[in-house]
A = this chain, B = another copy of it.
């Protein structure tokens, strides 16, 4: 078994690698490395190695459809490659991986471009947590010469909102920073909400950082459109088959390191925003109704099913 795979999976497990995107990239690179260093004697052995890597990565984190879809794709390509030669298979995995990484970059860029058009000059954008795609989108809108303000939550317990705030200030975007509980007070002044996604289910519901669904309800109450910005490959094909997205329960100490002994600290990492609260899903394909995610996936990424 490849040490790279084990080591990478370990890092993912321990949250040393974080964010749907980074996790996917790490897994792809590890598989690339394994393929290059393979000692497999034939295609069968080569595929077994890949399958083992898949098993290990799938077990490393619960809610990572992007990584799973990436791994699934690379394996599919190797399986269907019309060669039995290890060198060529290794080459295929390598090329496929590189292509996937490029595709990821392209998806983010395309998504950011599309979404940036929805930012109006003089408007106020509300966001939650940190998403590199959301930052990219806002940077694009800024670069397009639009002036707008962003309200961003601190996003307890890990304060990812501070990363967002720093990035936005660095980009010269007028930014307001609030505690999570101030969402209802500030959402009324916003013209739109934009958040990222960790996973998208077959009904078009979105799994994202804890607090997102509450903000969606408040946006609905205040008639502020709530957009989700995400690569299509965050779609989780398992939900189609009935599986629920697992919601990771993280360490209590993230919330309160010196909590009283008998206190039960609950720390779910994500929540689920129902499709009816989502105004539009901005993805590389364009802006779509989230309910149609399955049809769009069938068209663009039929191999995920």
Q: Which residues of A contact B (CB under 8 A)?
A: 113-118, 120, 128, 151, 153-157, 162, 165-166, 169-170, 174-186, 188, 201-204, 209-211, 213-214, 217-218, 221-223, 239-244, 252, 255-256, 259-268, 271, 274-276, 279-280, 282, 285-292, 294-296, 298-299
Select A276's contact among B217, B264, B276, beta carbons within 8 Å.
Answer: B276
The answer for the CA separation of A52 and B243 in the assembled complex, in Å, is 45
Q: How many copies of this chain does the complex contain?
A: 6
Select A256's contact among B120, B177, B181, B209, beta carbons within 8 Å.
Answer: B177
Residues of B near A260 (CB, < 8 A) are: 165-166, 169-170
Select A203's contact among B188, B279, B296, B298, beta carbons within 8 Å.
Answer: B279
A240 touches B183 (CB 8 A): no
Do A154 and B256 contact each other (CB < 8 Å), given the known contacts A169-B262, A287-B240? yes
B211 touches A177 (CB 8 A): no
The answer for the CA separation of A128 and B180 in the assembled complex, in Å, is 13
Do A114 and B242 contact each other (CB < 8 Å), given the known contacts A182-B210, A185-B268? yes
The answer for the CA separation of A204 and B290 in the assembled complex, in Å, is 11
**Nearest B residue (CB) for A275:** B289
A280 touches B203 (CB 8 A): yes
Residues of B near A157 (CB, < 8 A) are: 179
Residues of B near A128 (CB, < 8 A) are: 181
**Nearest B residue (CB) for A238:** B117
B292 touches A179 (CB 8 A): no
A203 touches B242 (CB 8 A): no
A179 touches B180 (CB 8 A): yes
Select A271's contact among B113, B154, B185, B255, beta carbons within 8 Å.
Answer: B185
Do A213 and B184 contact each other (CB < 8 Å), given the known contacts A165-B259, A178-B255, A223-B223? yes
Do A211 and B223 contact each other (CB < 8 Å), given the known contacts A177-B265, A288-B202, A292-B291? no
B203 touches A214 (CB 8 A): no
Select A299's contact among B116, B169, B276, B298, beta carbons within 8 Å.
Answer: B298
A264 touches B174 (CB 8 A): yes
A186 touches B266 (CB 8 A): yes
